[in-house]
């Protein structure tokens, strides 16, 4: 999507279309009260000096020769008309034409464009549009790699073949469909690998399409800026610039060895490929999470160590809660501290911001993986004490857990009894723990669409609260604060939390999470529901059974020795799709892996077809609800 937040916001403000518009927290007006001790220039200069130093190290220049451009440039002083430090999350193309960019502060932006209009965040809108976008694409293929709530890679190889349609015709129709459904423009880029499609999309924006055909690649790459390559950010591009290269064409003259010497083995090799339009990385339709973390880098103002430890405890609880949601345990605990730099003013330029800080990370390894809140708390407090930091100087705190393992669930052998009358109990179909192990080994709950979770929390506070974390009511505060969005909200999709309560929690024994009620979720329509519905009255009846019973039904069905009937297959597929819609992913996961294993054990085409039929339904629903496929064991 193009300038996503703005496009969504403009649906409610059509009169602003065609005008320079920015999404911000505040309008950029002057503050009403003055804070003592603020020294913007000192703080800003520290940021710039640090940047210059980094650059000097990368390029070999002395700090004097380096001129840094920074977003703190052109900020007026406090109380001036152009002094606002409110950040622009997204701006319209009309604003960009005036030189405004995402991430810029309102003050400098207003200098460039005094009639810049601001609109507030609209998290519900983002969610709705994102779902619609993913549902629309999923009608055509499930080969989707989600990048963010408004961006994805799609493998269109098969679908273009099947539809017998040209790339450009498909792109036009698809973009029109998305615009019709969402009211927002979008752009598509086609190419023969990830890199090419990405660069093609950039070329296509705004509201356009571009097909980078193989015959164009060489010329096209020649003019691409190195900064536009994925993985090339500020530091890398400046380093390359100091070597005399700003474009891919120019970089093509360097040898692999030279690039590797300057940038390291991997980065050098990647760049060598990228500047030629090559990209060996395939799309990945599922990934495994490697860490879970939470950090708070605003409003941290402690007087005593105890306040700090109290905060650590609550942050540990938040991390623990996320680990439960993802069903992981971890072995490595890392504490991140932001500490006011000695030279930095005590009062920060941004109200309750972290200001100019030194950052340190310290980690500790456990013998056994855990998600225990007491252990995490104990470790982070211990790590914190070792740093011997004056609590008054702390400005940010984070906890990260890595070296993760999946939670193993215990077999639950109890309560297997008779099931529906039409099923016969078959000897040898006894419960096997293996099924449970399948269930426990992984449940990919991370790759799920959830746009801007917790709108309730992310939209600005009800009461103006100018106190720091430690002064607020602890209970409510720490539950919600790490989830609150400050500054520019992420368009995070891959790694966002899942709202649905874990149905596996009940198997974990004792540790039921008592979390505040989360906002109700809209359950998106499930795609391809036009498939003829079975009139079987048992179809809905399955939902009223416990999933274990359904598994027994399945087992009996598979063991029946008869050919599967289509109506039964449909019934199972429908049941599982509904479980997806209900976000009972754990059950779906168990049942699908069970079905896969057993159908493949039978090893008859007809049963494999049953599995594939059900799988297709389930994956369609998964894409519709979460934007990603269910992970199935090999």
Partner DNA sequence: ATCCTCCCCTAC
Partner DNA sequence: TAAGGTAGGGGAGGAT
Within positions 493 to 512, which residues make up the interface with DNA, using CB under 7 A?
493, 495
State which residue, 401 or 542, has the beta carbon closest to DNA.
Answer: 401
**Beta strand 21-23 pairing with 90-91:** antiparallel
Contact range with DNA by CB under 7 A, out of 8-16, 217-225, 257-265, 506-514 = 257-265
Structure tokens that stand for 489 in this block: 């909200």
Give the strands of the sheet with 21-23, arranged side by side: 90-91, 21-23, 117-119
Q: Among this protein's residues, is 151 annotated catalytic?
A: yes
State which residue, 42 or 365, has the beta carbon closest to DNA.
Answer: 365
- Which residue of the chain is nearest Mg ion when measured via CB? 232
Q: Cβ of 193: how many Cβ atoms within 10 Å?
A: 18
Q: Which does 627 bind (CB under 5 to 8 A by kind): Mg ion, DNA, none?
A: none
233 near DNA, judged by CB under 7 A: yes
Q: What is the DSSP string of 387-405?
A: H---GGGEEEEEEEEEEEE
State which residue, 291 or 305, has the beta carbon closest to DNA.
Answer: 291
Q: What is the DSSP string of 11-22?
A: TT-GGGTTS-EE
Q: Which does 546 bind (CB under 5 to 8 A by kind): DNA, Mg ion, none?
A: none
Contact range with DNA by CB under 7 A, out of 158-166, 217-225, 347-355, 528-536 = 347-355
Q: What is the DSSP string of 262-327?
A: HH-HHHHHHHHHHTTT---PPP-S-----EEEEEE-SS---SSHHHHHHHHHHHHHHHHHHHHHHT
* Of 398, 403, 408, 407, residue with least CA distance to 330: 403
Indicate which single residue of 97, 165, 258, 360 sits in contact with DNA (rule: CB under 7 A).
360
Least distance CB 158 / DNA (angstroms) = 24
Question: What is the contact mask toward Mg ion in residues 85 to 124, using x (rule: CB under 5 A)?
Answer: ----------------------------------------
Contact 451, 495 (CB under 8 A): no
Contact range with DNA by CB under 7 A, out of 147-155, 372-380, 418-426, 566-574 = 147-155
Q: Which does 482 bind (CB under 5 to 8 A by kind): Mg ion, DNA, none?
A: DNA
The H or E element containing residue 549 is helix 547-559
Within positions 286 to 345, which residues make up the interface with Mg ion, using CB under 5 A?
none
Per-residue CA distances from 413 to 103, 410, 432, 555 (Å): 55, 9, 9, 15
- Compute the chain's Rg from CA coordinates: 27
The 3-state secondary structure of 83-129, one letter per residue: CCCCECCEECHHHHHCCCCCCCEHHHHHHHCCCCEEECCCHHHHHHH
Alpha-helical runs (H) found in 327-460: 373-387, 433-441, 455-458
**What is the length of the chain?**
634
534 near DNA, judged by CB under 7 A: no
State which residue, 439 or 483, has the beta carbon closest to DNA.
Answer: 483
Mapped onto helix, strand or coil, the DSSP state of residue 564 is coil
Question: What is the contact mask toward DNA in residues 296 to 335, using x (rule: CB under 7 A)?
Answer: xxxx----------------------x---------x-x-
State which residue, 72 or 171, has the beta carbon closest to DNA.
Answer: 72
Question: What is the contact mask toward DNA in residues 164 to 203, using x (rule: CB under 7 A)?
Answer: ----------------------------------------
State which residue, 101 or 266, has the beta carbon closest to DNA.
Answer: 266
Indicate which single residue of 125, 345, 391, 396 sits in contact with DNA (rule: CB under 7 A).
396
Distance CA 205, CA 189 (A): 9
Least distance CB 607 / DNA (angstroms) = 36
Within positions 55 to 74, which residues make up the interface with DNA, using CB under 7 A?
58
Structure tokens that stand for 238 in this block: 């400046």
Structure tokens that stand for 241 in this block: 């610039």
Distance, C-alpha 619 to centroid of its chain:
20
Indicate which single residue of 277, 482, 524, 627 sits in contact with DNA (rule: CB under 7 A).
482
Per-residue CA distances from 431 to 38, 147, 504 (Å): 68, 40, 18
* Of 411, 573, 417, residue with least CA distance to 504: 411
State which residue, 183 or 487, has the beta carbon closest to DNA.
Answer: 487
Indicate which single residue of 136, 237, 247, 458 sits in contact with DNA (rule: CB under 7 A).
237
Q: Which does 431 bind (CB under 5 to 8 A by kind): DNA, Mg ion, none?
A: none
Within positions 208 to 267, which residues make up the interface with Mg ion, using CB under 5 A?
232
Q: Cβ of 172: how many Cβ atoms within 10 Å?
A: 13
351 near DNA, judged by CB under 7 A: yes
- Nearest 5°: the CA angle 156, 158, 161 is 105
State which residue, 78 or 559, has the beta carbon closest to DNA.
Answer: 78
Distance CA 230, CA 195 (A): 8
Site residue total, DNA (CB under 7 A): 85
Least distance CB 154 / DNA (angstroms) = 14
Within positions 569 to 598, which residues make up the interface with DNA, using CB under 7 A?
none
Least distance CB 316 / DNA (angstroms) = 13
State which residue, 232 or 308, has the beta carbon closest to Mg ion.
Answer: 232
Within positions 414 to 433, which residues make up the interface with DNA, using CB under 7 A?
none
State which residue, 496 or 574, has the beta carbon closest to DNA.
Answer: 496
213 near DNA, judged by CB under 7 A: no
Within positions 29 to 58, which residues make up the interface with DNA, using CB under 7 A?
29-33, 35, 54, 58
Using the 8-state DSSP alphabet, how is residue 524 labeled?
P
Indicate which single residue of 231, 244, 433, 541 sits in contact with DNA (rule: CB under 7 A).
231
| CB-count burial class (<10 Å; 0-12, 13-18, 19+) for 488 | middle
Contact range with DNA by CB under 7 A, out of 349-357, 501-509, 534-542, 592-600 = 349-357
State which residue, 46 or 296, has the beta carbon closest to DNA.
Answer: 296
- Residue found by looking up tokens 């900020």 in the block: 75
Indicate which single residue of 95, 263, 380, 610 sits in contact with DNA (rule: CB under 7 A).
263
The H or E element containing residue 358 is strand 357-370
Q: Which does 291 bind (CB under 5 to 8 A by kind): DNA, Mg ion, none?
A: DNA
Mapped onto helix, strand or coil, the DSSP state of residue 94 is helix
Indicate which single residue of 20, 28, 524, 564 sits in contact with DNA (rule: CB under 7 A).
28
Give me the catalytic one of 78, 124, 151, 405.
Answer: 151
Question: What is the contact mask toward DNA in residues 87 to 116, using x (rule: CB under 7 A)?
Answer: x------------------x----------
Distance CA 102, CA 425 (A): 63
* Of 73, 78, 71, residue with least CA distance to 30: 78
Distance CA 196, CA 175 (A): 19
Which chain residues interact with Mg ion by CB under 5 A?
232
Active site residue ranges: 151
């Amino acid at each position: 999507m193009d300038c996503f937040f703005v496009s969504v916001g403009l649906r409610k403000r059509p009169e602003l279309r065609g005008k320079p518009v920015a999404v911000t927290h505040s309008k950029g007006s002057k503050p009403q009260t003055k804070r003592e001790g603020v020294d913007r220039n000192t703080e800003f200069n520290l940021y710039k000096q640090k940047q210059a130093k980094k650059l000097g190290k990368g390029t070999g220049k002395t700090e004097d020769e380096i001129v840094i451009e920074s977003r703190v440039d052109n900020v007026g002083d406090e109380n001036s008309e152009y002094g606002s430090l409110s950040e622009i999350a997204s701006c319209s193309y009309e604003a960009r034409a005036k030189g405004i960019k995402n991430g810029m502060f309102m003050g400098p932006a207003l200098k460039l464009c005094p009639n810049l209009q601001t609109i507030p965040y609209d998290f519900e809108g983002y969610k709705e549009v994102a779902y619609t976008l993913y549902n629309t694409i999923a009608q055509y293929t499930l080969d989707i790699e989600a990048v963010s709530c408004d961006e994805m890679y799609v493998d269109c190889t098969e679908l273009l073949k099947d539809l017998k349609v040209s790339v450009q015709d498909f792109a036009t129709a698809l973009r029109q469909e998305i615009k019709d459904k969402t009211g927002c423009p979008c752009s598509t880029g086609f190419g023969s690998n990830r890199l090419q499609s990405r660069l093609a999309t950039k070329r296509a924006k705004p509201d356009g399409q571009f097909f980078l055909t193989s015959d164009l690649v060489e010329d096209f790459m020649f003019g691409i800026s190195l900064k536009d390559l994925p993985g090339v950010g500020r530091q890398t591009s400046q380093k390359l610039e100091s070597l005399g290269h700003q474009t891919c064409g120019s970089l093509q003259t360097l040898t692999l060895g030279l690039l590797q010497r300057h940038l390291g083995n991997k980065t050098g090799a990647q760049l060598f490929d990228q500047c030629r339009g090559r990209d060996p990385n395939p799309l990945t339709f599922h990934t495994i999470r490697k860490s879970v973390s939470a950090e708070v880098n605003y409003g941290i103002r402690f007087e005593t160590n105890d306040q700090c430890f109290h905060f650590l405890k609550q942050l540990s609880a938040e991390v623990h809660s996320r680990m439960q949601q993802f069903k992981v345990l971890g072995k490595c605990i890392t504490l991140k501290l932001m500490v006011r730099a000695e030279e930095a003013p005590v009062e920060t330029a941004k109200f309750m911001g972290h200001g100019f800080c030194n950052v340190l990370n310290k980690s500790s390894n456990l013998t056994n993986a855990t998600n225990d809140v007491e252990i995490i708390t104990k470790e982070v407090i211990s790590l914190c004490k070792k740093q011997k930091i004056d609590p008054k100087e702390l400005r940010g705190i984070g906890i990260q857990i890595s070296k993760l393992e999946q939670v193993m669930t215990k077999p639950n052998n109890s309560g297997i009894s008779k099931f529906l009358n039409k099923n016969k109990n078959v000897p040898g179909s006894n419960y096997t723990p293996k099924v449970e192990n399948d269930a426990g080994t992984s449940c990919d709950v991370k790759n799920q669409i959830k746009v801007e979770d917790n709108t309730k929390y992310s939209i600005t506070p009800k009461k103006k609260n100018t106190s720091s974390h430690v002064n607020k009511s602890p209970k409510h505060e720490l539950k919600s604060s790490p989830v609150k969005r400050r500054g520019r909200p992420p368009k995070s999709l891959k790694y966002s939390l899942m709202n649905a309560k874990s149905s596996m929690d009940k198997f974990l024994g004792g540790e039921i999470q008592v979390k505040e009620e989360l906002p109700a979720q809209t359950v998106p329509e499930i795609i391809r529901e036009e498939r003829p519905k079975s009139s079987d009255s048992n179809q809905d009846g399955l939902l009223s059974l416990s999933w274990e019973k359904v598994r027994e039904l399945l087992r009996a069905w598979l063991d029946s020795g008869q050919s599967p009937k289509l109506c039964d297959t449909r019934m199972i597929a429908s049941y599982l799709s509904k479980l997806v819609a209900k976000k009972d992913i754990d059950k779906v996961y168990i049942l699908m892996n069970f079905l896969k294993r057993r159908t493949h054990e039978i090893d008859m085409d007809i049963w494999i077809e049953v599995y594939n039929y059900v799988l297709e339904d389930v994956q369609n629903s998964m894409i519709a609800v979460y934007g990603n496929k269910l992970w199935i064991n090999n």
